Structure 1
């Protein structure tokens, strides 16, 4: 199961050696985004994240062309009223994983200022990060549009948007975990996974692998 809040946090996917990347290829990010890699800080929801997503989606769609079947704002920054780590999460649905790999080989996202950060324990996606390690601003998951990862990311977001009580419960959990694991993002992620699994099961989305987690 891939935890459906913030795509790049668990299992070391955004740790380790940094891929050389021309960060200057990306426009200056808004002040409302940015967090050091591996840390946890929650900030109140900001309406500026909607505009930031729209701008980034336009860049991705222009670069990927018709291969970008769907571009979705996911993770906590996509849910109005939910506190979030100030990193924009974007899910790009492509026809299949071969298309994702082809764009990785071409450097399509690198040309937009994204570093490839691997696949970790999520076999149906390629993961990219924008911004230097001291200030990550964007995460992008490129994954088959009809695959498990894309489906779970969107389903978890939609469930939180539709249920005020569920959203408040998740916000309380996030605040509690952030207060105790501020410098341990992997633990912060892992301890949210049971909540995420319950939500996905409640909306009829059951992952094939309940062991793997990627922070949402």
Structure 2
């Protein structure tokens, strides 16, 4: 099951159904956008087997040129997505799916070589290949979710130093 009220933080145990939710949404999106998206990636904690997460499917849609594909936003808005601000992420277009009371999907449109794409994929892959680090991340997320259940911004901000540390290790090949 997916869906969480906007602005809140609730972690649930890993659900193998998240992969099916991701795959079903990609199939739906591919029928809407055709070859304008180079590929899709399952990102975020729901893409890491065994990791507790907010029940919102994070997805990346890779495009060749973000400026040239900006009109995809209108297509996606006509099919259940809402365009949101980038929250200080300059190299993406960010959309959400689901009502405010039950956001189900996050979709970032980004170029392949963008920081947005690279950081999300490197972080995901590093946690997938380092289960101990993934467990450490889950423990941090649980503490922060308990501390900030109604303040997603504080929850996200408090995770940033851990994420930066993991990215540094991953980029250095550690």
Pairwise TM-score range, normalised by the shorter structure: over 0.9
**Is this contact kept in 2: 1:100–1:126, CA < 8 A?**
no
- The SS at the match of 2:67 is helix
- Distance (whole Å) between structure 1 residues aligned to residue 105 and residue 38 of structure 2: 20
What is aligned with 2:27?
A: 58
- The SS at the match of 1:174 is helix
- Distance (whole Å) between structure 2 residues aligned to residue 147 and residue 113 of structure 1: 26
Paired residue for 1:125, among 84, 92, 102? 92
- The SS at the match of 1:141 is strand
Where relative contact order (Cα < 8 A, 6+ residues apart) is larger, the structure is 1
What is aligned with 1:157?
A: 124
What is aligned with 1:70?
A: 39
Where does structure 2 lack aligned partners over 5 or more consecutive residues?
Answer: none
- Distance (whole Å) between structure 1 residues aligned to residue 44 and residue 68 of structure 2: 23
- Distance (whole Å) between structure 1 residues aligned to residue 70 and residue 85 of structure 2: 11
Q: Scaled by the length of structure 2, what TM-score is found?
A: 0.95
- Distance (whole Å) between structure 2 residues aligned to residue 66 and residue 76 of structure 1: 27
- The SS at the match of 1:175 is helix
- Distance (whole Å) between structure 1 residues aligned to residue 34 and residue 68 of structure 2: 12
Deviation at 1:70, TM superposition (A): 1.4
1:4-83 mapped onto 2 (5 Å cutoff):
32-83=1-52
What is aligned with 2:60?
A: 91
Cα-to-partner distance string for 1:74-113 (whole Å, 9 max, x where unaligned): 0001101100000110010100111331212xx2111221
Q: Scaled by the length of structure 1, what TM-score is found?
A: 0.77
**CA RMSD across the alignment:** 1.1
Where does structure 1 lack aligned partners over 5 or more consecutive residues?
Answer: 1-31, 206-216
Cα-to-partner distance string for 1:106-165 (whole Å, 9 max, x where unaligned): x21112210111223111111101111111111100111221101111111001100011
